[in-house]
Amino acid sequence: MFDLDVWLADYVRVMRSAFGGRVRFIGIQGSRARGEAAEGSDIDVVLILDRLDFDDLRRCREAAEALPHRELLCGFVSGADELRGWDRGELFGFYHDTRPVLGRLEELIPVPGAGDARRAVHSGACGIYHACAHNYLHERDGELLAALLKTSRFVLRARCFCETGRYFSSLDELAERLTGADRAVLELSRGGADFEAASRVLYDWARGLIEDTQHDERAGGARLRLGFFLIYPAAAP
């Protein structure tokens, strides 16, 4: 039986053996961190070093080879400076979805807030809109559509944060707070969706989010309408 805590202790040991004091942070993300993993779910690990040269990637790969369940290991590896320079919208989901194992993210980056959540909603919606249209026209790939629907969960979490000030990692807790198109997209992300119908729902949902943010830009950035709430930039960090 897979024991995540035991596995993570092994991961910390091999990475500290390989990099010593250069390890600034180790964390776990995704379904393993949320307690929603299936037997074959990925092990999404975050590893932050003081810096990350290309040779460090080779050393990291070599160090991980001896770990059990190596085939499930994936995640995010970065140098500390690169992480500090990362897009703030992407850092919103990254920060809130990461459970610390060693170190504290707050020592590396400012805690993302409402402004970063709004950026995450807008950039996420744009990416999904483009990829959904491309996939429907050209690829016709059900697995790609499923991946886009999974990505929509992060946009929905950011959108819900804008409305409530809370980040809901659990899909069940998130679902309880969603209605309308938001709830429909989340339910489709759980699987079993018809390609044609799911593509239409996802495309229309992403287009609607983009239109919301574009309306705000035309209004001079005074406010951003998300759901039933008005979020004012003055409240952002």
Domain harbouring 76, CATH code: 3.30.460.10
Q: How many CA atoms lie within 13 A of 161 on its CB side?
A: 25
Among residues 38, 73, 107, the one where a domain terminates is: 107
25 forms beta bridges with 48
- Exposed (0-12), middle (13-18) or buried (19+): which is 183, by Cβ within 10 Å? middle
Whether 213 and 191 map to the same domain: the answer is yes
Whether 136 and 229 map to the same domain: the answer is yes
Q: State the pLDDT at residue 148.
A: 98
Among residues 107, 138, 168, the one where a domain terminates is: 107
Kindly give the parts of the chain with pLDDT less than 70: 215-237
| Ordered strands of the 43-49 beta sheet | 73-79, 43-49, 23-29, 99-102
Whether 48 and 149 map to the same domain: the answer is no
Q: State the pLDDT at residue 229.
A: 29
Whether 125 and 231 map to the same domain: the answer is yes
Whether 148 and 212 map to the same domain: the answer is yes
* Total structural domains within the chain: 2
Decide if 88 contacts 196 (C-beta within 8 A).
no
Pairing assessment for the beta strands 99-102 and 23-29 based on DSSP bridges: antiparallel
Question: Domain range holding 21?
Answer: 4-107
Tell me the two tokens of residue 56.
């460090």
Tell me the two tokens of residue 90.
């992407």
Mention every residue, 6+ apart, whose C-beta is less than 8 A from residue 224: 118, 162, 212, 213, 216, 230, 231, 233
Rounded distance between C-alpha atoms, residue 184 and residue 211, angstroms: 19
Whether 174 and 152 map to the same domain: the answer is yes
User: What separation in angstroms does the CA of 154 have from each of 63, 140, 189?
Assistant: 31, 23, 11
Tell me the two tokens of residue 1.
């039986």
pLDDT digits (tens, 9 = 90+) for 75-113: 999 999 999 999 999 999 999 999 999 999 999 999 999
Q: State the pLDDT at residue 222.
A: 39
Q: Where are the beta strands (DSSP E) in 64-181?
A: 73-79, 99-102
Whether 69 and 122 map to the same domain: the answer is no
Among residues 53, 81, 107, the one where a domain terminates is: 107
Q: State the pLDDT at residue 234.
A: 30
| Look-up of token digits 């140098």 | 79
Whether 80 and 151 map to the same domain: the answer is no
